[in-house]
Structure 1
Amino acid sequence: MLFSRTFRDKWRPPLFLVVALVLCIMLLVPLAGIAFFRVYENQLIETTEAELIAQSAAIAAVTAQRLMENGGPDLPLGAEAAGYGDPGARSSTGDWTPVLSKLDLTRTAILPGRPEPVPATAGVLPDYSKTGRQLDPVLQETQKLTLAGFRLLDFNGSVIAGREDVGKSLAHVAEVRAALSGVYASALREREVDNPQPIYSISRGTSVRVFTALPIIVGDKVAGVVYASRTPSNILRELYLKREAVFWVVSFTLGATFVVGLIFVRAITGPIRALTRRSARIGGGDRDALKPLAIHGNREIHALSESMLDMSRKLFDRNDYIRSFADHVTHELKTPLTSILGAAELLRDGGNDLDEADRARFLTNILDDTERASLLLNRLRALARAESVDIAGTCRLADVVADIRAGRQGAAISFPRDADLPMSAENARIVLDNLVDNALRHGADRIDVVADAAGRDLTLRVSDNGTGISEGNAAQVFDLFFTTRRDSGGTGMGLAIVEALLKAHGASIRLASGGAGEGAAFELVFPVRPSSVY
């Protein structure tokens, strides 16, 4: 793999960093508007070129008319027009020759600033000079309204109208040279700013100027060129003019980012950090940390925190259970082991001084206590199996009762109705056999097992006619190692095994008898109703 596991774990980003990254992305979203600004800026350039074309076309038409009026049929003309406009956009009659915008910020190269005019190699003809003087005031007034610069050139490229450049030549300029051949041309050139503003430096539109050169056609020949230029509108200037709207957009973006961050903190990062601190306290054994969190956040984190706290409670309970279990086991084993040790020491120290009766009594005590310890260990193994039992399978109540009857001759076990139990036959046999054994050891000679599936749950009521359970002992019958028959070999683990086994299957057991002398009755409740009860 590219990175080792240690490296990945060490550099795994914390949640707050992920949230910060998401917030930064949200803040960067408005910057995606730069792409829109770029498109909008390009649109401004295209619009500027289209406006210059329209204005130049009108000026070219007026100029052509004046030239024909001033020069008549003998008006000198330049080269034959190579054709201009968009041939693909002409009508079927050939009368429409629109000139379309060509400039594009993404494809058009930006040329250096316009070259300065040079002295003309040929003088301006009188008809052209007169036409220039006639139209110069019109160009000046047009410039005041459109902010565009116009120059009229004759077919040699000499300026005939246009401020201080009259009489000079612009024929060496690339776009003018193309227009003199009868082809419309345009260019983007660098714009020199005497006092540039720093904020404008990020806008390409303010540093360029649009130049157009439109041929003046008389007949089929070039009579001159309308050379126009204009600086596109600046996008930042447009934003400044709409600064109030921009302010509210920025305020909304920052406000939305703050709200999203607050939601993240309240719903995700805050609860997770609290849960992390709480788990550390629980790991240190602090039981006060089992209280619910003050802020749970979203549904998933709430479920995670509840699950973690519930698991922690179970671990604490399990730890308490193990500690109590170890204490009980130690206590229960200590008695027979002490008796065995004492009897063995007496046999060792007494030697030949002990008569056969005493020797036999000590050996009997050793055997009885050894048998009791062995029985206790067997019960502990049964309890361990009950707590980690496989809960799969089903069985029939009739089959389980038949097996118990075969193993306990003389036990009168009745069941009015058969039922399907949601546990394996082996586990069901362990449960019922312990209940039957408990009843028989308390004087019962009849046990009734009644199945009831009136509701969603299946209930088994196991009752007997034995001595019953006193009210004082009723609360302790399921406690581990609690027994009233310790002198006769009782371990106090039968009902604890039954309860653990049922709990593993999601079932429960409770004492339902009325008291001493009335027999014992237990109710076993299984949460899933079987397929049928007979």
Structure 2
Amino acid sequence: MSAQKWIGGKWRPRLATIVVAILIMVMALPLVGLFFFRLYENQLIRQTEAELIAQGEALAAIYAWDVREAGIPAERLGAPMPAEASEYPSRSTEPDPRYRPIEPSLDLASDSVLPTRPAAVAASLDPVFAAIGARLSGILDATQKTTLAGFRLLDPRGVVIAGREEVGQSLAGVEEVREALAGRYASALRPRIPDQPAPPLYSVSRGTKVRVFVAMPVAVDGKVAGVVYLSRTPNNIVKHLYGERGKVTLAAIAILGGTLLIGFVFLRTVSRPIYALMERTERIAAGDRTAIRPLDHHGTREMAELSAAFLDMAEKLHARSDSIQTFATHVSHELKSPLTAIQGAAELLRDSGTAMDEAERKRFSNNIVTDAGRLNLLVRRLLDLARAENLAPSGETTSMGAALALLPVDKRLAVHVEAGGDTGLRISGESAAIVLANLIDNSARHGASAVSLTASSADGKATVLVSDDGAGISPSNRDRIFEPFFTTRRDSGGTGMGLGIVLALLKAHDGTIRLVDSGRGTRFEIILPVA
């Protein structure tokens, strides 16, 4: 099994596998509805019952006409027909009494399939009804050749008077025939007894295994004059679909086309962007920085946002890596110079013995102390920078006046708050004091004698201007002042990390700082959220 399928010790399918499974399910839904819910089969059974009702009513009308023509007295007819309200319980209620339609009522899902129809029993045949049956036999035979239905004409006692078989035998014991002899329409589902084995494909259809039986009473002068007993096997669903193969083929093509369209849309909008993003991930992990660019196709808004977030994260990680590498190079350079000086002075003191006079020994010792102090200062400033870069906002607020009160008194510079000294700033007093202390120290190192502070607020942001009257910053150095370890006052103890600490503290509090033009000296613009 490939490593791509086993992630975290657990097997997970590919996206393409899930898509194919969904598409197969989509294509199978029509078949599930067709063969398992049997809706279509039930419709075929009701269609068969409706056709038998129509044929039975036509034959019943002919039968009734022959009975009237034969002049059979009422006492030789059967049971009285039920009252109008209950004559045919299955008939629909119609406002016009001239119409009494019989609606199909069989339901393959809810109606029980009765046992095989009981065999006919021997009985005596009434000659008058036998003559009527003989006259109608030709009509039954001709009708059966076209409709493929089975026909039996029964007299008022349930004896068969016309039909290919069972003439002269009684079917009065059959349930639906018994209902019809009482004047009520009846229908039933019974198992089909096939003349030959059905094709294997027919086994998927339940409707193939049943036969529809309809018993239609024949009414003459308000009495039952006989029964038209019909039966037929419903059309098989497979055979019917084959007969409608043109429409079925078009439906299958439509389903297949819709499924392929769904697959194409899914592939275009989901699968393809995901695989493209995976490929970009592998290239970025291998160090290919050209891969950090937007995808050619995003597909969906969520995928575009995910891609943008991922590529932004990758770009920030690369920038962070570059920053760390550059910072490590600067740190090693800054620490190497004093360490080399200390090592050289220490070796001279060790190897010179008594040949070195006291002044030289003192000079080398002072060099060691000075360089060690610089190393100590660098380490402290590195710690300050690390704390500033990893500082989490405390939610505290302060003002410039409160931050200045935390600073030690510096007699070298005069600090004036010209406006907005009480403007609330969303930064802790300690952090604000560190920012101001570093900026004031920079001003002092560059010959300033006074520093002025001005604050204003608008649109939820506070703007603080820190200005001095010093020598200013040369145009060649303006773009480098926030680089770590960049300083023009290294000889006077500058580490070049003060502005880096200021920038890190302000970023931690959603603030910014930049150098702005001024007529004289240096001016920094600080923007912070208003408290």
Range into which the TM-score falls when normalised by the shorter chain? 0.7 to 0.9
Distance of aligned partners of 1:444 and 1:295 in 2 relative to their CA distance in 1, 3 Å threshold? same
SS of equivalent to 1:163? coil
**Does 2:35 correspond to 1:38?**
no
Tell me by how many angstroms 1:422 deviates: 2.6
Distance 1:324 1:273 in 2: 34
How far apart in 2 are the matches of 1:248 and 1:87? 38
Distance 2:73 2:236 in 1: 46
Change (3 A) 1:90 1:366: closer
The one-letter amino acid paired with 1:345 is: E
1:106 aligned to which of 104, 109, 132 = 109
Structure showing the higher helix proportion among its residues: 1
CA distance in 2, matches of 1:169, 1:221: 19
Q: What is the identity, as a one-letter code, of the residue corresponding to 1:315?
A: L
Match of 2:136 in 1: 135
Report the Cα offset of residue 195 of structure 1.
7.8
* Residue number among 396, 405, 415 corresponding to 1:393 in the alignment: 396
Q: Following the alignment from structure 2 to structure 1, what is the Cα–Cα distance between the partners of residues 291 and 8?
A: 31
Within 5 A, what are the aligned runs for 1:448-467?
448-453=452-457, 457-467=461-471
Q: Relative to 1, partners in 2 of residues 1:384 and 1:166: Cα closer, same or farther, differing over 3 Å?
A: same
- In structure 2, the partner of 1:274 is 276
Which residue of structure 1 lines up, in the alignment, with residue 3 of structure 2?
none
Who is 2:252 aligned against? 250
- Alpha carbons of structure 1 residues 251 and 137: separation in structure 2 relative to 1, 3 Å: same
Point out where structure 2 has 5 or more consecutive residues left out of the alignment. 1-5
Note if contact 1:210-1:230 (Cα within 8 Å) is conserved in structure 2.
Answer: yes
Measure how far apart 1:272 and its partner are: 0.9
Aligned to 2:187: 186
Alignment of 1:37-116 (within 5 A): 38-53=38-53, 55-57=55-57, 59-60=59-60, 63=63, 66-67=66-67, 70=70, 72-73=72-73, 76=76, 85-86=88-89, 101-110=104-113
Moved more, 466-475 or 199-208: 199-208
The offset of 1:172, in angstroms, is 6.5
The 2-side partners of 1:8 and 1:230 are apart by 63
Task: Tell me how far 1:523 sits from its aligned partner.
Answer: 2.0
Deviation of residue 446 (structure 1)? Answer: 0.9
Q: Answer whether contact 1:42 1:105 (CA < 8 A) is retained.
A: yes
Aligned residues: 518
Residue pair 1:86, 1:98 contacting (<8 A) in 2 also: no
Match of 1:471 in 2: 475
Mapped contact 2:91–2:103 kept (Cα < 8 A): no
Q: CA deviation at 1:383?
A: 0.6
Aligned match of 2:285: 283
Give the superposition deviation at 1:117: 5.9
Secondary structure of the 2:188 match is: strand
What displacement does 1:30 show? Answer: 2.4
1:335 alignment partner AA: S
Whether contact under 8 Å (2:468, 2:522) holds in the other structure is yes
Does 2:246 correspond to 1:226?
no
| Kept in 2: contact 1:67–1:127 (CA 8 A) | no
Unmatched tracts of structure 1, length 5 or more: 1-5
CA distance 1:37–1:137, shift in 2 (3 Å):
farther
CA contact (8 A) 2:34 2:40 kept: no
Preserved contact between residue 478 and residue 496 of structure 1 (Cα < 8 Å) = yes
For residues 393 and 343 of structure 1, what CA distance do their matches in structure 2 show?
49
Residue 336 (structure 1) shift: 1.7
Alpha-carbon distance between aligned partners in 2 of 1:368 and 1:226, rounded to the nearest angstrom:
127
CA contact (8 A) 2:90 2:105 kept: no
Return 489-498 or 178-187, whichever deviates more: 178-187
Per-residue Cα deviation, 1:490-511 (whole angstroms, up to 9, x for no partner) = 1111111112222333332222
Match runs of 1:191-340 below 5 Å? 191-192=193-194, 194=196, 196=198, 200-216=202-218, 224-236=226-238, 238-340=240-342
- Between 1:31-40 and 1:331-340, the stretch displaced more is 31-40
In the TM superposition, residue 520 of structure 1 has moved relative to its aligned partner by 1.6
Does the C-alpha gap of structure 1 residues 361 and 233 become closer, same or farther in structure 2, counting only changes over 3 Å?
A: same
Residue pair 2:514, 2:524 contacting (<8 A) in 1 also = yes
Q: Secondary structure at the match of 2:38?
A: helix
User: Paired residue for 1:489, among 490, 493, 504?
Assistant: 493
C-alpha distance after superposition, 1:304-351 (max 9, x if no partner): 111111111111111111122112111111122222223333333344
Q: Cα distance, 1:22 vs. partner?
A: 2.4
Residue 413 of structure 2 corresponds to 411
Supply the distance in 2 between the matched residues of 1:88 and 1:300 (Cα, whole angstroms): 60
Query: Alignment identity in percent?
Result: 49
State the match for 2:386 in structure 1.
384
Displacement of 1:473 in angstroms is 2.1
CA distance in 2, matches of 1:523, 1:192: 99
2:512 alignment partner AA: S
SS at 1:210's partner residue?
Answer: strand
- Aligned residue runs from structure 1 range 152-163, under 5 A: 152-155=153-156, 157-163=158-164
- Separation (CA, whole Å) in 2 of partners of 1:101 and 1:290: 71
Hey, what's the Cα distance between the residues in 2 that align with 1:74 and 1:467?
Answer: 137
In structure 2, the partner of 1:148 is 149
Residues 72 and 22 from structure 1, CA distance in 2 versus in 1: closer, same or farther, beyond 3 angstroms?
Answer: closer
Residue 421 of structure 1 is matched in structure 2 by 425
SS at match of 1:490: coil
Change (3 A) 1:89 1:69: same
Q: Aligned residue for 2:348? A: 346
> Secondary structure, in 3 states, of the residue corresponding to 1:378?
helix
**Counterpart AA for 2:12:** R
Instruction: Name 2:11's counterpart in structure 1.
Output: 11
| Distance in 1 separating the partners of 2:298 and 2:220 | 84
What is the distance in 2 between the residues matched to 1:274 and 1:348? 65
Distance in 1 of aligned mates of 2:254 and 2:266: 18
Superposition RMSD on alpha carbons, in Å? 3.7
Q: Please name the residue that 2:509 is paired with.
A: 505
CA–CA separation in structure 2 for the residues paired with 1:384 and 1:59: 104
Residue 438 of structure 2 corresponds to which residue in structure 1?
A: 434
SS in 2 for 1:487: coil
SS in 1 for 2:252: helix
Q: Is the 2:33–2:39 Cα contact (8 Å) retained in structure 1?
A: no
Residues 460, 362 of structure 1: CA spacing in aligned structure 2 closer, same or farther, 3 A cutoff? same
SS at match of 2:307: helix
**Equivalent residues of 2:92, 2:103 under 8 A apart:** no
Deviation at 1:376, TM superposition (A): 0.5
- Structure 1 CA distance for aligned equivalents of residues 205 and 524 of structure 2: 88
Aligned amino acid, residue 281 of structure 2: S
CA contact (8 A) 2:35 2:204 kept: no
Q: Counterpart of 2:398 in structure 1: which amino acid?
A: C
Three-state SS of the structure 2 residue aligned to 1:480 is: coil
Q: CA deviation at 1:437?
A: 0.4
Maintained 8 Å contact 2:35/2:205: no
Offset at 1:222?
6.2
SS at structure 1 position matched to 2:480: coil
Give the Cα–Cα distance (whole angstroms) in 1 for the partners of residues 280 and 74 of structure 2: 102
Q: 1:276 deviation in Å?
A: 1.2
Distance 1:88 1:197 in 2: 37
Report SS of the residue matched to 2:27: helix
